[in-house]
Amino acid sequence: MSRLLLACVFALMSVVGIAGVASAREIADTPVAAQQTTAVEPGPSVNAPQELSPEERAETKKKLWMGGIAVVLFVLVYYRNKKRWAVWRKERKAKKG
């Protein structure tokens, strides 16, 4: 893997990690009311809907398309920059040596 890709992955992991720690601290600092003993509640509904509504399917499909386009654009920019970087290094090496 290239250094740039590793740096991007590291930065993304750092941001997600910091956000997770920050939210965990906020929850831990909030006062918690004492729980009362209650009767056993029934489990999840057996007749839960198994299929998404047409609106939810359309929204999911739209989000998948947007995510796919974002990934394709990222790959195109990454490889363009990789080629430019290789040419720049080659020219720099030729000037020095």
- Could you read off the pLDDT of 9-37 as tens digits, one per residue? 777 777 666 655 555 555 555 666 666 66
25: part of which helix (H) or strand (E)? helix 3-29
DSSP state letter for 47: T
Residue among 69, 27, 83 nearest 91 (CA): 83
- Could you read off the pLDDT of 73-83 as tens digits, one per residue? 999 999 999 99
Is the whole-model pTM more than 0.95? no
Domain residue ranges in the chain: 3-28+55-96
What gap in Å lies between CA 41 and CA 31, rounded to an integer?
25
Half-sphere exposure of 26 (CA within 13 A, CB side): 6
Extract the tokens encoding 24.
Answer: 């965990």
2 in Cβ contact with 81 (< 8 Å): no
Burial class (CB in 10 A: 0-12, 13-18, 19+), 78: middle
